[in-house]
């Protein structure tokens, strides 16, 4: 069972986000940051307020975006060019302990697929993304069902999406 302090903090964050959503008719990140600025805000501790550190973290986020959108090409034996995108490889347990950044590394797909350990870690990250997408689809289905009505076509499409995600998850799991 979760630590009572963690549950209390999580509940405080949830309550504060609900308050902000009601105040601003939804949650915009800029509104959340503004509401979190006062030190007494339950959200204050969730943000990095030291400008130097925050700026560095923002630049790291920008770097991740650049890495993901930059897709280098690799020449094939027949002379044609093929995309060889960078893929994120999570750090090993030892790397997490050795480094404060815990950021893993992006490497070209052609390198990752040739290294059993890196490939397994990339697959684990992919499995987590598929599970996250599955949870989001299930939440959407549950929310649509709660609203009720007679939109069987929409519910069927959501069910189809969930089935597709389950199939994708099973396929990724089979690669391990």
**Structure-derived torsion over alpha carbons of residues 50, 51, 56, 57, reported in degrees to the nearest 10:** 60
Looking at residue 2, its pLDDT comes to 62
Chain CA centroid to CA 110, Å: 23
Q: What is the pLDDT of residues 10-62, one digit of tens each?
A: 888 999 999 999 998 899 999 999 999 999 999 999 999 999 999 999 999 99
CB atoms within 10 A of CB 89: 22
Q: How confident is the model at residue 3 (pLDDT cuts 50, 70, 90)?
A: confident
Q: What is the pLDDT of residues 98-110, one digit of tens each?
A: 877 678 889 999 9
Nearest CA to 126 among 158, 163, 173, 72? 173
What would the mean pLDDT of 126-140 be, rounded to a whole number? 95
Task: Decide: pTM greater than 0.75.
Answer: no
What would the mean pLDDT of 144-170 be, rounded to a whole number? 90
Domain ranges (residues) in the chain: 1-47, 49-175
Task: Report the C-alpha gap between 155 and 173 in whole angstroms.
Answer: 27
């Amino acid at each position: 069972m979760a630590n009572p302090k963690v549950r209390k903090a999580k509940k405080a964050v949830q309550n504060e986000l609900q308050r902000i959503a009601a105040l601003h008719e939804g949650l915009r990140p800029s509104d959340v940051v503004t509401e979190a600025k006062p030190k007494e805000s339950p959200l204050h501790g969730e943000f990095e307020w030291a400008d130097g550190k925050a700026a560095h973290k923002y630049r790291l986020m920008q770097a991740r975006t650049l890495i993901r959108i930059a897709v280098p090409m690799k020449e094939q034996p027949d002379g044609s060019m093929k995309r060889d995108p960078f893929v994120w490889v999570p750090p090993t347990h030892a790397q997490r302990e050795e480094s404060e950044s815990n950021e893993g590394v992006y490497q070209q797909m052609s390198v990752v697929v040739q290294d059993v350990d890196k490939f397994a870690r990339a697959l684990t990250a992919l499995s987590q993304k598929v599970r996250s997408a599955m949870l989001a689809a299930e939440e959407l289905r549950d929310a649509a069902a709660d609203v009720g009505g007679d939109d069987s076509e929409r519910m069927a499409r959501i069910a189809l999406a969930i089935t597709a995600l389950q199939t994708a998850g099973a396929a990724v799991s089979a690669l391990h």
